[in-house]
């Protein structure tokens, strides 16, 4: 089949270890010897066998990326960040779509242990804890992305959900909203941080924290739609909504349109908007972007940074476990609805930017 190091060595008239040194560019090799080895490699079309190298050196130069699914652009963008950073270091990435499914996740943990990957970057599902503990018992370097599991002693790279939702809510306050409702996903990580950001912003604005204005549920468009209708029928009126999940926002805004509420004149919207590739396929939210405030998470950077941290762990750093918070970008509405001139509320707030540095380490 393909040439081996031994064959290269014979052709170059050196020992295998010398070839190894040339290939890996370590140790000292005389320039002339190196040239001979390089020539032999060229002539034989030699390509090093990573499998053999991995077995002996106990480093596979591969990592695993586990995430819910690449069929959603937020996770996809994280995956691109992970892959680009890994590729830059000569590492390969095993892609594992878990669909947040326990059985699938379990099988993937087994596969990645069998493959002896050097590290794992994971968006854990809410049942991942036991597996993550198993990985850690086996000394597997580990970084959590986006979601933080209680009791897991591993670095986390995530967006500043608290600060982002706080700023999103404040932008509605600044636009003169007087009663702000909240629609969001499950109260786990990062959902609970988002709700906390909303609550603190409400309190700071001197508004009443009214649980009748708060609805949470599954993070999908259908639930967003349903929760808006629920709010409309039970809450005592509101003139703004924070929607802490982009998929829910699609349904929620649809519901408002169906109910004949004008955006932002009847109801102002502050929504998460996690689409990163506007030039390819865009979200139904885009049509509303000019009229709503949006919060965008730095998904690509989350991917890159998590791998950068993972490599520090693979490299053996004993830094204490950290949580890396990346700032969320807030975009204010720029236009009024056609036929409805800009209301006082639209565009009056200045651009709100969380003050966190690009990479803030806390805890």
Partner DNA sequence: TTGAAAGCGCTAACAA
Partner DNA sequence: TTGTTAGCGCTTTCAA
| Positions in the binding site for a copy of itself (CB under 8 A) | 1-2, 47-52, 54-55, 58, 60, 62, 69-73, 76-77, 79-80, 83-84, 87, 90, 92-95, 97, 104, 107-108, 110-111, 113-116, 138-139, 220-222, 246-247, 250, 275-277, 279-284, 286-287
Distances (CA, A) of 282 to 2, 129, 250, 337: 46, 34, 12, 20
Interaction pattern, residues 5-34, with DNA; x per rule: CB under 7 A = xx------xxxxxx-xx-xx--xxxx-xxx
**Residue 321 contact, options DNA, a copy of itself, none, Cβ 5-8 Å cut-off depending on partner type:** none
**Residue 94 contact, options a copy of itself, DNA, none, Cβ 5-8 Å cut-off depending on partner type:** a copy of itself
Q: Which is nearer to a copy of itself, 78 or 167 (CB)?
A: 78
Q: Which is nearer to DNA, 47 or 95 (CB)?
A: 47
Q: Which is nearer to a copy of itself, 100 or 220 (CB)?
A: 220
Say whether residue 1 binds DNA (CB under 7 A): yes
Phi and psi, residue 248, nearest 5°: -65, -35
Span from 49-57, 201-209, 222-230, 234-242 in contact with DNA (CB under 7 A): 49-57
Work out how close the CB of 52 gets to DNA at its nearest, in angstroms, rounded to a whole number.
3
Phi and psi, residue 99, nearest 5°: 55, 25
Say whether residue 39 binds DNA (CB under 7 A): no
Peptide bond before 190: cis, by omega within 30 degrees of 0? yes
Contact positions toward DNA, by CB under 7 A? Answer: 1, 4-6, 13-18, 20-21, 23-24, 27-30, 32-34, 48-49, 52-53, 55-57
């Amino acid at each position: 089949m393909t040439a081996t190091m031994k064959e290269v060595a014979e052709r170059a008239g050196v020992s295998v270890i010398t070839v190894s040194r040339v290939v890996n560019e370590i140790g000292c090799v005389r320039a002339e010897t190196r040239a001979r080895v390089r020539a032999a490699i060229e002539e034989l079309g030699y390509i090093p066998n990573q499998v053999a190298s991995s077995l002996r050196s106990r480093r596979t130069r591969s990592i695993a990326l586990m995430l819910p699914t690449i069929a959603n652009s937020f996770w996809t963008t994280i995956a691109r960040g992970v892959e680009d950073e890994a590729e830059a270091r000569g590492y390969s990435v095993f892609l594992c779509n878990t669909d947040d499914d326990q059985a699938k996740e379990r099988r993937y943990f087994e596969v990645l242990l069998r493959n002896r990957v050097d590290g794992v970057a994971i968006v854990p599902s809410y049942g991942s804890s036991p597996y993550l503990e198993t990985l850690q018992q086996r000394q597997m370097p580990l970084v959590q992305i986006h979601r933080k599991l209680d009791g897991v002693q591993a670095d986390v790279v995530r967006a500043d959900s608290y600060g982002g939702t706080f700023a999103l809510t404040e932008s509605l306050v600044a636009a003169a909203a007087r009663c702000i409702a909240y629609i969001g996903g499950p109260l786990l990580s990062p959902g609970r941080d988002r709700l906390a950001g909303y609550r603190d912003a409400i309190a700071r604005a001197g508004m009443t924290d009214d649980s009748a204005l708060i609805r949470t549920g599954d993070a999908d468009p259908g639930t967003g739609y349903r929760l808006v209708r629920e709010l409309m029928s039970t809450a005592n009126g509101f003139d703004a909504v924070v929607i802490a999940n982009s998929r829910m926002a699609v349904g929620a805004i649809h519901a408002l349109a169906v109910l004949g509420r004008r955006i932002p004149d009847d109801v102002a919207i502050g929504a998460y908007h996690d689409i990163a590739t506007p030039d390819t396929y865009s979200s139904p939210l885009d049509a509303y972007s000019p009229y709503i405030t949006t919060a965008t998470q730095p998904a690509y950077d989350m991917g890159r940074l998590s791998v950068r941290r993972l490599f520090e762990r693979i490299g053996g750093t004993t830094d204490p476990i950290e949580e890396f918070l990346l700032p969320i970008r807030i975009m204010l509405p720029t236009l009024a609805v056609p036929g409805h001139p800009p209301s006082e509320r639209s565009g009056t707030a200045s651009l709100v930017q969380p003050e966190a540095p690009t990479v803030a380490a806390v805890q």
